[in-house]
Amino acid sequence: MKRFGIAILAALMVVSLTIPAWAIESEFGGYWRTRFYTQQNFTGEDRTEAADVSAVDTRTRLYYTAIFHENLKFVNKFEFDATWGSREGSRDGGSGNVTNTGYSNRGYGMVGADAANLEIKASYIDFNLGPVHSKIGVQPFSVARSLLIDAGTEAAGLYLAYKGDSFTIPFMWIKPWEGGQGNNEYDTNGDGVNDTTIANSDYDVDVLVLAPSFNVAEMFTINPYIAYFFSDDASNENTALGSESFNLGYALADADDLNLWYLGLDIDVDFGMGSAWFTGIYQGGDVDYGTNQSADFKAWLVALGGEVDLGTFDIHGQAFYATGDDDGTADGDIEHFFVAGGFQSYYWAEIMGYGDLGDTSYAQVSNNSPADKIGNIWAANLGATVKPMDKLKIRLDIWYAALNEGIVVNGSEEETLGTEVDLKISYELVQNLNMDIIGAYLFAGDATTEKDPDDADPYEVGVKLSLSF
């Protein structure tokens, strides 16, 4: 697959240089970053040194778009990553774990640099038929500010949007899993060897989304939506298949008929000197599993935030609450909010929610935090950004977070994850090249330290250089 991806990239470059100038316009773009960082005591104690990380990594993204005319273009996005000194390959379903260190799928971080690891992030056509905007192929989808479907999570599918004067009505069909393709082999333990075979099956999973958006009186945007995840046979979805897994979020053995839906609403208000937003999502439906067993989904999430611009500085904040479940499926209800298929990815605090330095090859967050998968948690944030000069910006954030359904530690239930302080200093070194200096410290609660006798507060420090074009 990687060699095939490299061949596609080479072919695109050749085509872009050989097609007559009058026939096509080529547009190139990209993003680059390099980060130097250290993460310490993320386990909530200072005894497990293996969990402490100090590393440097580089990410490059290259974009190529062939523009035929104003109503048709062909979009492609590629990515390659390297941790300095490592030959690691691609990741395990976004978890950050190395899945292949062999020469057929390796990074370029070691001496010699030669790599055979290229990620195809997106490849789709984008065209207009009158008032209908369409995209077909592997593309980014976005619903509910990444609390439902993250804009950075590309998937194969179809996007159709009817555009009116003050409204847009998008319809999305996403295909996260396709069965009936013969035997498929997967590397489930990260050693570079395929060790699991899924036989030809009817494991099809489909996602349908309707998400109309309405502009009201220029200040308000209202965006209701419904997303429906369904499958007639979800019996393999608890296997460790990395990015191929549909992961229901619960150990539902032999899950069968799946009917899962999310009903939500986004509201955005722009009042000139500031803005405010709200998101509410209810999760419903049911799933059959095991031997004549079934469970109903009954969970919900609410989030809100805003900022006020006071000239040289702004004040901002947000809060979210996502339900948990104290008894799993014992009562026949699943009340822990989650998003099936791994579509949700909502970054928040640096240490508890990935932030700017968490998306690494050694991706980790502090102990017992749900990271970017917002469920069984409530959190609140207050912060300020100061811009003392054109090239300099300083941002300070304070977060408090706790589990809604706590963990049992020494016979008592603990919910507090802790209070986190994040500081980010951004400076434009030269035009287009930016430097961020990032520091974060978590005053850990008992749900993070688990009352370990060697308990210690997590902290991280890092520097990020980045440019985009």
pLDDT at 245 over 90: no
* pLDDT score recorded for residue 164: 93
Please tell me which residue, 51 or 194, carries the higher pLDDT value. Answer: 51
Mean pLDDT of 283-312: 92
* pLDDT score recorded for residue 125: 98
CA distance 68 to 20: 12
Strands 433-444, 333-334: pairing is unpaired
* pLDDT score recorded for residue 332: 87
pLDDT at 242 over 60: no
Lowest mean pLDDT among 247-256, 313-322, 364-373: 247-256
Burial class (CB in 10 A: 0-12, 13-18, 19+), 184: middle
Burial class (CB in 10 A: 0-12, 13-18, 19+), 280: middle
Taking phi over 0 as left and psi of -120 to 50 as alpha, with beta for the rest, 290 belongs to left
Question: What DSSP letter does each residue of 205-218 carry, written as one string?
Answer: EEEEEE--EEEETT
Considering Cα of 240, then 245, then 250, then 252, what sign does the dihedral take?
A: negative
Considering Cα of 8, then 9, then 11, then 16, what sign does the dihedral take?
A: positive
Considering Cα of 159, then 163, then 166, then 167, what sign does the dihedral take?
A: negative
CA distance 353 to 344: 13
What count of residues does the chain have?
469
Please tell me which residue, 457 or 182, carries the higher pLDDT value. Answer: 457
CA separation, residue 12 to residues 64, 122, 371 (Å): 8, 14, 37
Flag whether the pTM goes above 0.75: yes
* pLDDT score recorded for residue 210: 98
The 10s digit of each residue's pLDDT in 387-413 is: 999 999 999 999 999 999 999 999 999
Mean pLDDT of 16-34: 79
Strand partners, 300: 282
The 10s digit of each residue's pLDDT in 251-284 is: 666 677 889 999 999 999 999 899 999 999 999 9
* pLDDT score recorded for residue 385: 98
